[in-house]
Chain A
Amino acid sequence: MTDTTRDTEGATAYAHVTAEVTRIPLHYPRPKAWWLCFLPACGLLAVFFTALGVLLWNGVGVWGVNIPVNWGFDIINYIWFLGIGHAGTLISALLLLLNVHWRNSLNRFAEAMTLFAVVCAGLYPLMHLGRPWLFYWMAPYPNSMTLWPQFKSPLTWDFFAVLTYLTVSALFWYIGIVPDLAATRDRANGRLAQVLYGLGALGWRGSARHWARWGQAYRLTAAIAVPLVVSVHSEISLLLAAGPVPGWNSTVFPPYFVLGAAFSGFAVVSMIAVVLRKALGLEDLVRPLHLDMLGRLLLATGLMTAYGYAAEVFDTLYAAEPADLSLLADRLTGPFAWSYWGAVIGNFLPLQLLWWRGVRRHPLALFLIGFSAMVGMWCERFMLLATTLHHSWLASSWRPYTPSFWEVSLFVGMLGVFLVPFLLFIRFLPVISAFEVKEALFEESGEKGAGHA
């Protein structure tokens, strides 16, 4: 094979990648299917706004929460959504810094997923406040009363952490998408599309100087983002672990939460990857190799999460505090035992299939395993909140908890808050990082060429 042919082939391949990615926003391949997803998602969004209206008008009383279970679906879903939001940053930033190329087919939509999941997560703590219109009191802003937030409270740090994470995730995602926006702009035919994509592309012309500055900014943001992944979920775990509450007050919580978060995030990324490559015909870009990699990540983080479960039980048994033992017994056999066993089964049983390469590369199998883990992790969040709160120190204050209609509606509606922007994203923006895939292709071919020569 001559250099020319190789170059030609390479050029064709690059052109193919760009075309494949940028054609999606410009000539969406399956508009009917998209509308079939988008309209129900809008319906969910309407449910969200209804449930939100009812909540704000009446107060948190419309939920099923009580004393002692004063946190219900609000904090459960907050932790769950934020956990999901971890995978994007991990895949993009960490693997970018580690120079792992296969990430390039996955990072863009994983980042978008992160962004929207963090938005959903961030809404919950605001909505769960008794007086949500005063949420800004958690921020250290200058005020005439010279009052500061209470810096010992994990909630204060939660507020900072989530806000920082949201900002950095948004920045990282946007910086990453700029070159592809430019490519879309260049291929757009309509004037409106050209202007809009052009605005988004910030005047990107692809000059070497642009690429250099871009590379610096991108890697710098990645470097900032990676520790945030760890800090955000550690911080959230402290929201539970900092109190003298049997079942929460454990040092294993920060790593346990971070790993659980990554696990649930990878589960959702796997599901989205399987759906997108099928729906948008991206089989060339999201190849079985990528599914394989996702499967391995899922397996690895899943096993680490399982270790967290084991460590927690071991801790309890080893310390043998009566209150902790009583809580453990309640988790395993009490009224919410379904959530404990749901978490154990949903998270770890189907996961074992991923030891086989065939299963990992099988899209449907991967999707189902991811789904099971997603449900399992939700059960875990429920279990952590509900069992611990309903079974507190004094037996006299043990009370059951039943989520109310509006509590569930808000959760269902929140799926709309996630899906609507996500569907808009895959409809109007480049879902896969075309230039990064090309870069990877180039480097791959360069290595091959060097070996050949």
Chain B
Amino acid sequence: MNETARDRITQTLAGRTGRTFWRSLEELADTAAFREMLAAEFPALLPSLAPTGLSRRTALKALAGTLALAGLTGCDGQPDETALPYVTAPEGDMPGIARFYATAVRLGGYAQPVMGKTHSGRPVKLEGNPGHPATGGGTDLYTQAALLDLYDHDRSQGPRRRNQPTIWAAVDTALHGLTQEMDASRGEGLRLLTGPVTSPTLIRQMTNLRQRWPNARWHILDPLGGAGRLEAARLAFGRPLQAHALLDQAAVLVCLDDDPLGPGPAQATLARRWARRRLASQAGQGGCRLFVAEPSPTLTGARADRRLVAAPHRLPVLLNALEGGAPDLRPDEVRWLAEVRAALAAHPGQALVTVGPWCDPALQAQALRLNARLGAVDHCLRFTAPLTAQAEPWDDLVRDMAAGRVRGLVILEANPAHAAPDASAFRDALARVPFTLHAGPHLDETAAACQWHAPLAHDLESWSDARAVDGMVSLIQPLVRPWLGVRGRHALLDGLLGGAASDHAVVQATWRPELGADFDRRWTDALVKGFIPDSAPPWATPTVIDTAPASPLSAAGGLTLLVRPDPTLWDGASANNAWLQETPKPLSKVTWGNVVHVSPHLAALHGLKNGDEMTVTAGAVAVTGPAWILPGQEADTITLTLGYGRRLPSQTADGLGYDAYPLSAGPATLTPTGRTRDVATTQRHHAMEGEDFVRTVPVGHPTLPPEVQTPSFYPDTPPESPSWGMAIDLDLCIGCNACVVACVAENNVPMVGAELVAMGREMHWLRVDTYHEGDPAAPATYFQPVPCMHCEQAPCEMGCPVNAAVHSHDGLNLQVYNRCIGTRTCSSYCPYKVRRFNWYDYTAKAPEPVKAQRNPDVTVRQRGVMEKCTYCIQRISAARIQAKLKGEAIPDGAVVPACQQACPTQAITFGDVTDPQSQVSRRKASPRNYSLVPEAGTRPRTTYLARIEPDDGGAA
């Protein structure tokens, strides 16, 4: 007991006359803390509920009731719906046979449609939903990694109050108090803050809330979001509209600092569309030209036919020139523009010009008007009403909080104390709000700063809904019952409104009127499909209105800073996710941290090396991080990425990298600190050193010289049918890393951490090599996914002294973990270095929850054994068993390895190479087909299809 309490006791006792009974010192002291405890434990005793005080009769009634109900305390919270215990297994359920459920996970508020694979009720893998019209089964790396968030051992385990564990009853009491207060004031001073929202159910709940409390306000924090895009549409068409780039119909795509193929909620959809266009163009049906002008390299830039390195202030000039203006241009800009103009002229109505969401909305609007002139609107650029909910801006909230106008703040799935440009202002203003509650899956910076924290369920353990980027609504259904003290967001919001409905009931209530009389059948149908058909908003037909063109940007001397989402962490919400952390960034191959991207020119000027620590100052804010020389970066720009610099004590992401949120794009300065940092990177050489690992063919003559088979001492194994092989079309690969994370999820690949990655011990079975070619200032960039080649004449098999590396009858190069003694000869002999060694015991030392994620079909590996890509042999076996049960051959397409499944562009094909009609054989029959390092004489089963380039080379 502290000093004040003791003083209070003394005071109380001193002031009393007669006999005073008390049960505990706390009660006697009657401190605020004690009252809170009492309120949390026995909400019924609150003065608000019994305004006249507690009578003797009521107390006795309560006592009797308590006694009668005491036995119920042994019961847990009830699940939303009927769940069957495994004691009596569900009919038809076989242990060891996976079940798939269509559901979705969210990124930036948008649904990523998936099929969730569960083993005995445990989600073990997310696959793209092949039936979904937007993605067609492709995914991105975030979707693949979302599974690990479910098993994150740093997840919030239960509600907290002032950073101390508390119980849900306490949260309920607090919310109840808030409800009563708001009912009285019609919501005066109540603010809700969410991240971007597309969920119709959440929007319905918010509408209800605002009807009940008209004075309440809803703010949305979306630091990376599409607010600029909507604003641009408003400028161009007079109303905010969501643009849908139908890349599959755009024969020419011109991107000005835009990255449609890059990471983000739309990646899987846009990449799918672009790949469809690219495949058609490979087959000779129309063109697929891609022109990019950008200051900082992106995945789209890497795939461009012509990439122009353009400073941010040159973008309005270029757009002006495309519109027909005649500004002053540099020679390289003239060349680029000439080609773009020619391509645009050659494809009327099939050309699309896009401007990045981070650019000035006026510039984006200008591009929309240009698209209208080019005939793109209503063809390859269509519009719908906005998919994300529209609410009041975030800035107003911080202003009102600072002014003391906010009485209660409820934050739902947003992290304004970190992921906002003015996070520090928000943190300061938070102290002026009497009631603050944060609801989210993580104990993040905002959870630590708020009075209350309520843990929310992961998408895979809750009912909800959300729209995919094409507007189609996906139903989110749980794959597993929550095992932590978490709650669904709809139930929480319903609780705030005084209800007690479950998530399931709230979501159904949204759709019951929409789906009409045949609700049950249509609901089940939507659950099976994973989306509600025809739920996308209809196309809108915009008309261009006249507004002022974008004001030209002045060419500020000095350096320009760009702040971009991180290519593997996005906004940083899943920063604890080791799969994302250990995924190499597509261009720099850096893991477990963010770097300061500088141009080769700047590096030469200041004598910088990779890893030299730099301080970047923009305005009054400075961050420090290791420099990284990025070929193709505009000479005087620096790029920082978001999502790092987290302050999450004792969590995985704590202290990694710098926090770039407080910095705004614009002029900046760069100062070396003189120190050097070790950056964990997985690839140190990006030049092909005169070799042709990635081959290219001109579009006019897409043929490689035929390969001469090198002689071998060893006899050829007679090909049996089936005999597995893989073809990877480098012309379709966009380097997005979805395959890498899918492989990790499927094959129980352990994550090893920054220190071991820096030593060269990452465990990825599949990696994406990135090569640059040409002038470092404006290079061509190539991606090459490298799984095991499953060589027909495999050197590893010859080297292994104990027969642990062997060849199977169906052409697989197998690694028998049980037999491996760890001599590592196989890896020494491997020309492709795709083998990975268990230097330590990674499997047993993984965090406990992560062990529950593991795929039971894939063996985990002991310390001291070698492992590598198996072509997902467990999937081959499953398909073989199915085929045998039916008594037929394994049909083509029955075996889909995880990498192929995840690939949004269908760059990877797998199948039986002895069947000339199989998809993989047809791809391998392409004149673009080649083997990696044929001079090693290994006869790889994984082959590549050369990338197609414009007739006169790649880089502009």
Do chains A and B stick together as partners? yes
**CB-CB under 8 A for A130 and B822, given A138-B802, A243-B828:** yes
Q: Which of A2-10, A216-224, A392-400 contacts B (4 or more CB under 8 A)?
A: A392-400
Q: Which of B383-391, B596-604, B731-739, B857-865 contacts A (4 or more CB under 8 A)?
A: B857-865
A421 at the interface (CB under 8 A from B): no
- 8 A Cβ contacts from B829-880 to A: 829, 831-833, 835-841, 862-866
Q: Is the CB of B832 within 8 A of A60?
A: no
**Which residues from A are CB-within-8-Å of B835?**
67
Q: Is the CB of A399 within 8 A of B684?
A: yes
**Which residues from A are CB-within-8-Å of B839?**
59-61, 65
**CB-CB under 8 A for A67 and B760, given A58-B840, A130-B838, A245-B829:** yes
Q: Is the CB of A395 within 8 A of B825?
A: no
Q: Is the CB of B825 within 8 A of A130?
A: no
Taken together as a complex, chains A and B put the C-alpha atoms of A368 and B311 apart, in Å, by 63
A345 to chain B, nearest CB (A): 28
Interface residues on chain B, number (Cβ under 8 Å): 59
Q: Is the CB of B801 within 8 A of A60?
A: no
A192 at the interface (CB under 8 A from B): no
**Which residues from B are CB-within-8-Å of A396?**
683, 685-686, 693, 767, 769-771, 784, 786
Q: Is the CB of B828 within 8 A of A137?
A: no
Taken together as a complex, chains A and B put the C-alpha atoms of A60 and B819 apart, in Å, by 18
Q: Is the CB of B937 within 8 A of A244?
A: yes
Q: Is the CB of A244 within 8 A of B802?
A: no
B461 to chain A, nearest CB (A): 35
Q: Is the CB of A138 within 8 A of B769?
A: no
Q: Is the CB of B801 within 8 A of A159?
A: yes
B761 at the interface (CB under 8 A from A): yes
Taken together as a complex, chains A and B put the C-alpha atoms of A67 and B824 apart, in Å, by 10
B760, B771, B795, B863 pick with most chain A CB within 10 angstroms: B760
* In the complex, residue of chain B having the shortest beta-carbon distance to the beta carbon of A64: B759
A239 at the interface (CB under 8 A from B): yes
Q: Please encode chain B, from 769 to 801, with 1 for each CB lying within 8 Å of some chain A CB and 0 for all others.
A: 111000000000000101000000001011111
B905 at the interface (CB under 8 A from A): no
| Contact residue among B795, B799, B836 (Cβ-Cβ distance under 8 Å from A67) | B836
Interface residues on chain A, number (Cβ under 8 Å): 52
Q: Is the CB of A69 within 8 A of B760?
A: yes
Q: Is the CB of A131 within 8 A of B820?
A: yes
Interface of B is mostly: loop
* In the complex, residue of chain A having the shortest beta-carbon distance to the beta carbon of B932: A394
| Contact residue among A128, A244, A326 (Cβ-Cβ distance under 8 Å from B823) | A128
Q: Is the CB of B864 within 8 A of A60?
A: yes
Q: Is the CB of B863 within 8 A of A150?
A: no
Q: Is the CB of A131 within 8 A of B821?
A: yes
B881 at the interface (CB under 8 A from A): no
**Which residues from A are CB-within-8-Å of B770?**
396
Taken together as a complex, chains A and B put the C-alpha atoms of A242 and B800 apart, in Å, by 12
B688 at the interface (CB under 8 A from A): yes
A140 to chain B, nearest CB (A): 11
**Which residues from B are CB-within-8-Å of A397?**
683, 832-833
A283 at the interface (CB under 8 A from B): no
**Which residues from A are CB-within-8-Å of B803?**
147-150
Q: Is the CB of A70 within 8 A of B938?
A: no
B690 at the interface (CB under 8 A from A): yes
Q: Is the CB of A153 within 8 A of B693?
A: no
Taken together as a complex, chains A and B put the C-alpha atoms of A71 and B828 apart, in Å, by 8
| Contact residue among A58, A61, A67, A322 (Cβ-Cβ distance under 8 Å from B827) | A67
B685, B767, B797, B938 pick with most chain A CB within 10 angstroms: B685
Q: Is the CB of B936 within 8 A of A67?
A: no
**Which residues from A are CB-within-8-Å of B760?**
66-69, 399-401
**Which residues from A are CB-within-8-Å of B863?**
59, 130-131
Q: Is the CB of B800 within 8 A of A150?
A: yes
- 8 A Cβ contacts from A39-76 to B: 58-61, 64-71
**CB-CB under 8 A for A67 and B837, given A130-B822, A395-B689:** yes
Q: Is the CB of B801 within 8 A of A156?
A: yes
A321 at the interface (CB under 8 A from B): yes
**CB-CB under 8 A for A395 and B688, given A130-B863, A147-B819:** yes
Q: Is the CB of A130 within 8 A of B820?
A: yes
**CB-CB under 8 A for A154 and B799, given A67-B761, A393-B832, A395-B689:** yes
* In the complex, residue of chain B having the shortest beta-carbon distance to the beta carbon of A388: B828
Q: Is the CB of A153 within 8 A of B800?
A: yes
Q: Is the CB of B840 within 8 A of A394?
A: no
Q: Is the CB of B761 within 8 A of A66?
A: yes
A327 to chain B, nearest CB (A): 11
A129 at the interface (CB under 8 A from B): yes
**Which residues from A are CB-within-8-Å of B802?**
137-138, 147, 149-150
Q: Is the CB of B801 within 8 A of A326?
A: no
B151 to chain A, nearest CB (A): 24
**CB-CB under 8 A for A130 and B821, given A147-B803, A152-B798, A399-B760:** yes
Q: Is the CB of A138 within 8 A of B689?
A: no
Taken together as a complex, chains A and B put the C-alpha atoms of A170 and B797 apart, in Å, by 34
**Which residues from A are CB-within-8-Å of B683?**
396-397
Q: Please encode chain A, from 117 to 146, with 1 for each CB lying within 8 Å of some chain B CB and 0 for all others.
A: 000000001001111101101100000000
Q: Please encode chain B, from 913 to 943, with 1 for each CB lying within 8 Å of some chain A CB and 0 for all others.
A: 0000000000000000000110111100000
A141 to chain B, nearest CB (A): 12
Taken together as a complex, chains A and B put the C-alpha atoms of A239 and B688 apart, in Å, by 28
Q: Is the CB of A155 within 8 A of B828?
A: no
- 8 A Cβ contacts from B637-692 to A: 683-691
* In the complex, residue of chain A having the shortest beta-carbon distance to the beta carbon of B805: A150
**Which residues from A are CB-within-8-Å of B838?**
59, 130
Q: Please encode chain A, from 147 to 183, with 1 for each CB lying within 8 Å of some chain B CB and 0 for all others.
A: 1111011111001000000000000000000000000
Q: Is the CB of A245 within 8 A of B761?
A: no
| Contact residue among A59, A65, A395 (Cβ-Cβ distance under 8 Å from B685) | A395
**Which residues from B are CB-within-8-Å of A242?**
798-799, 829
- 8 A Cβ contacts from B583-642 to A: none
* In the complex, residue of chain A having the shortest beta-carbon distance to the beta carbon of B822: A130
B460 to chain A, nearest CB (A): 33
**Which residues from B are CB-within-8-Å of A68?**
760, 827-828, 833
A68, A132, A159, A243 pick with most chain B CB within 10 angstroms: A243
| Contact residue among A125, A153, A326 (Cβ-Cβ distance under 8 Å from B798) | A153
A414 at the interface (CB under 8 A from B): no
**Which residues from A are CB-within-8-Å of B767?**
396
Q: Is the CB of B841 within 8 A of A59?
A: yes
| Contact residue among A129, A148, A243, A394 (Cβ-Cβ distance under 8 Å from B795) | A243
Q: Is the CB of B833 within 8 A of A244?
A: no
A323 at the interface (CB under 8 A from B): yes
**CB-CB under 8 A for A322 and B691, given A130-B865, A243-B828:** yes
A366 at the interface (CB under 8 A from B): no
B553 to chain A, nearest CB (A): 38
B608 to chain A, nearest CB (A): 20
Q: Is the CB of B836 within 8 A of A394?
A: no
A389 at the interface (CB under 8 A from B): yes
Q: Is the CB of A70 within 8 A of B824?
A: yes
**Which residues from B are CB-within-8-Å of A159?**
801
Q: Is the CB of A131 within 8 A of B840?
A: no
Q: Is the CB of B831 within 8 A of A244?
A: yes
* In the complex, residue of chain A having the shortest beta-carbon distance to the beta carbon of B758: A66
A64, A68, A153, A156 pick with most chain B CB within 10 angstroms: A153
Chosen A-B contacts, 22 in total, with CB atoms closer than 8 Å, are: A58-B840, A60-B822, A71-B824, A71-B828, A129-B821, A129-B823, A130-B823, A130-B837, A131-B820, A131-B863, A131-B865, A132-B864, A137-B819, A149-B803, A150-B802, A239-B825, A242-B829, A243-B829, A394-B831, A395-B687, A395-B691, A396-B683
Smallest CB-CB A-B distances: 3 pairs:
A130-B822, A130-B864, A66-B760
- Point out residues on A near B: beta carbons under 8 Å: 58-61, 64-71, 125, 128-132, 134-135, 137-138, 147-150, 152-156, 159, 239, 242-245, 321-323, 326, 389, 392-401
Given contacts A130-B864, A153-B798, A401-B760, 15 further A-B contacts (CB under 8 A): A59-B841, A67-B835, A129-B821, A130-B838, A135-B821, A149-B803, A243-B825, A243-B828, A393-B831, A393-B832, A394-B932, A394-B933, A395-B688, A397-B832, A399-B684
